[in-house]
C-alpha cells in the first residue's frame, strides 16, 4: 500500500497586513527593516472575526478534493493538525467533517505545533497501512492571530493565519509514488522555550504564545539537519535526489540554511514565509498547494518536508508526487 498525495489545497484570509501597517495598527516599536532582515517576512494574512480554524480548514479541504477529483463521500478519515482549535471539543476535524458534508467516519485533531502537518501525514499513513482508512484528508489550519500577545513585538510580528490540506489516497499498484517515509521526534524537556501559557486544563496564564526565539533558532538548525539526514538515509537516497525542499515556514534564515545543507539552489526551495509569515501547522500544506498549483512540483518529483515547533517537536517526510 502506498499513500498517494492525490490533491492539495490552501486557504488564506482576505486581509493582508504589511510590516509597516502592522506596526502602525498595533502600536509596535518595530520596523519593516527589522522584520524583513531577521525573518524574511514582508506581510501576513489575518483572519476575519467570523473565521475559525474549521472554516479555513474546510475551505482548504474542498480545494484539495476538487484538485484530486475525489468526491467528498470517498473520504473516510480526517486529521486536523492545529494548536488553535475552534474549541477544546468537538474537535476541529469533526467540525470540518460536517462543514464539507463528509460521511461519518474517523476524525480527530492532533497537537504538535508547527510540526503538526508532518505528524498528521505520519498518522494518516499508519491508518491507511492498518486498513482503517483508504482516503484521508490531512489538514493544517491555524489562527495564531488569536493567541499571540499583540504587545510583544518579538513574537506577534512572526505569525499569520491560514490553512492547507492534502488528500491521501491508498494505492496498491503505484509503488513508485506516494509517501516514502516519515520521521517524528519530540523532546518535552524544552517545553518552556516555545509554549502557549494557560488553556482549559492549566492552573494559570493568559493563553498567549511565548517564545525564546534565539533558543528555538539554535535547536532548529541542528535538529532539522539531523532529521533530514535521517529521512534520506532511511530511503538510501543522496541529497541530490531531492527535487524540492518544502520546509516549515518560520524564518528565511533557517530555510536558507537547510537549502544550503542539501546543496539545493534557492529556486528548488519553496518559500512562502515572505507573504504568509509563520502559519504553524498550515505552512507546509499551503506551500505544497502553491507549488503544485503553479506547476513547480510535478508528478514524479521527490519532495522533502521538514518542520520544528513547540514541544519541542520536529520531523521530516519524503514523498514522491
Ligand atoms: N522589532 C524590532 N526589534 C525587535 C523585535 C521587533 N519585532 N523583536 C525583538 N527585537 C529586539 C529585541 O528586543 C532585542 O533587542 P536588545 O538586543 O536591545 O535586547 C533584539 O531585537 C534581538 O532580539 P533577539 O530575539 O535576540 O533576535 P533574533 O536575532 O534571535 O531574532 C527571531 C528573533 C526572528 C524570533 C529568531 O530568533 C527566530 O527566528 N527564531 C526561531 C523561531 C522559530 O523558528 N520558531 C519555530 C517554530 S514556531 C512554533 O512552533 C509555533
How far, in Å, is the centroid of ligand 1 from the Cα of 19?
Answer: 15
**Average pLDDT of 178-192?**
97
In short, whether 283's Cβ falls inside 6 Å of ligand 1 is no
Instruction: Note the CATH number of domain 178-320.
Output: 3.40.47.10
Which value does ipTM take for this structure?
0.93
In short, whether 108's Cβ falls inside 6 Å of ligand 1 is no
Helix, strand, coil share of the chain (percent; to 5): 40, 25, 30
- Which residue(s) pair with 246 in the sheet? 305
Q: Is the pLDDT of residue 205 over 80?
A: no
- Give the mean pLDDT of the chain: 96
How far, in Å, is the centroid of ligand 1 from the Cα of 31?
Answer: 13
In short, whether 52's Cβ falls inside 6 Å of ligand 1 is no
In short, whether 115's Cβ falls inside 6 Å of ligand 1 is no
Confidence class of residue 198 from pLDDT cuts 50, 70 and 90?
confident
**Average pLDDT of 299-303?**
97
Q: Is the pLDDT of residue 200 over 90?
A: no
pTM score: 0.97
Extract the C-alpha cell encoding 8: 492539495
How far, in Å, is the centroid of ligand 1 from the Cα of 58?
Answer: 33
What superfamily in CATH does domain 2-171 come from? Thiolase/Chalcone synthase (3.40.47.10)
Q: Is the pLDDT of residue 259 over 90?
A: yes
Number of CB atoms found within 10 A of residue 279's CB: 33
Q: Is the pLDDT of residue 175 over 90?
A: no
Ligand 1 atom 44: residue of nearest CA? 250
- Predicted confidence at residue 106, as pLDDT, reads 96
Write down the domain spans for the chain: 2-171, 178-320
Q: Is the pLDDT of residue 169 over 90?
A: yes
In short, whether 251's Cβ falls inside 6 Å of ligand 1 is yes
Please identify which residue in the block is written with the cell numbers 518536508.
305
- Predicted confidence at residue 63, as pLDDT, reads 98
Counting residues of the chain whose pLDDT is more than 70, the rounded percentage is: 100
Of residues 207 and 314, the one with the higher pLDDT is: 314
What string of DSSP letters covers 22-61?
Answer: HHHHHT-S--HHHHHHHH---EEEE--TT--HHHHHHHHH
Beta strands in the chain (DSSP E): 2-11, 15-18, 43-46, 77-81, 106-110, 135-143, 161-171, 178-186, 194-196, 209-211, 244-247, 302-309, 313-320
Given this chain, do its domains 2-171 and 178-320 carry the same CATH topology?
yes
Catalytic residue numbers read 114, 248, 278
How far, in Å, is the centroid of ligand 1 from the Cα of 217?
Answer: 9
- Predicted confidence at residue 265, as pLDDT, reads 94
- Predicted confidence at residue 199, as pLDDT, reads 78
**Dist CA 101 CA 289 (whole Å):** 22
Amino acid at each position: 500500500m502506498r499513500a498517494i498525495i492525490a490533491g492539495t489545497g490552501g486557504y488564506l484570509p482576505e486581509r493582508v497586513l504589511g510590516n509597516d501597517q502592522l506596526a502602525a495598527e498595533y502600536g509596535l516599536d518595530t520596523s519593516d527593516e527589522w522584520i524583513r532582515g531577521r525573518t524574511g517576512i514582508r506581510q501576513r494574512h489575518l483572519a476575519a472575526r467570523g473565521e475559525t480554524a474549521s472554516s479555513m480548514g474546510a475551505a482548504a479541504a474542498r480545494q484539495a478534493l476538487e484538485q484530486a477529483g475525489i468526491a467528498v463521500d470517498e473520504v473516510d478519515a480526517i486529521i486536523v493538525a492545529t494548536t488553535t482549535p475552534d474549541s477544546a471539543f468537538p474537535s476541529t476535524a469533526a467540525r470540518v467533517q460536517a462543514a464539507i458534508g463528509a460521511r461519518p467516519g474517523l476524525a480527530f485533531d492532533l497537537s504538535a505545533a508547527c510540526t503538526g502537518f508532518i505528524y498528521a501525514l505520519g498518522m494518516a499513513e499508519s491508518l491507511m497501512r492498518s486498513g482503517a482508512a483508504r482516503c484521508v484528508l490531512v489538514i493544517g489550519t491555524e489562527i495564531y492571530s488569536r493567541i499571540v500577545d499583540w504587545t510583544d513585538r518579538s513574537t506577534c510580528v512572526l505569525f499569520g493565519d491560514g490553512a492547507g490540506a492534502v488528500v491521501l489516497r491508498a494505492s496498491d499498484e503505484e509503488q513508485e509514488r506516494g509517501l516514502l517515509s516519515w520521521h517524528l521526534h519530540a523532546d518535552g524537556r524544552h517545553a518552556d522555550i516555545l509554549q502557549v501559557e494557560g488553556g482549559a486544563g492549566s492552573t494559570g496564564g493568559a493563553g498567549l504564545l511565548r517564545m525564546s526565539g534565539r533558543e528555538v533558532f539554535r535547536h532548529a538548525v541542528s535538529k532539522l539537519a539531523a532529521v533530514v539526514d535521517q529521512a534520506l538515509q532511511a530511503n538510501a537516497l543522496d541529497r541530490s535526489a531531492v527535487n524540492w525542499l518544502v520546509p516549515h515556514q518560520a524564518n528565511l534564515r533557517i530555510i536558507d540554511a537547510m537549502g544550503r545543507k542539501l546543496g539545493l539552489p534557492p529556486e528548488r526551495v519553496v518559500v512562502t514565509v515572505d507573504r504568509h509569515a509563520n502559519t504553524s501547522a498550515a505552512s507546509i500544506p499551503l506551500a505544497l498547494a502553491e507549488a503544485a498549483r503553479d506547476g513547480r512540483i510535478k508528478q514524479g518529483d521527490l519532495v522533502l518536508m521538514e518542520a520544528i515547533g513547540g514541544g519541542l517537536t520536529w520531523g521530516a517526510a519524503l514523498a514522491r508526487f
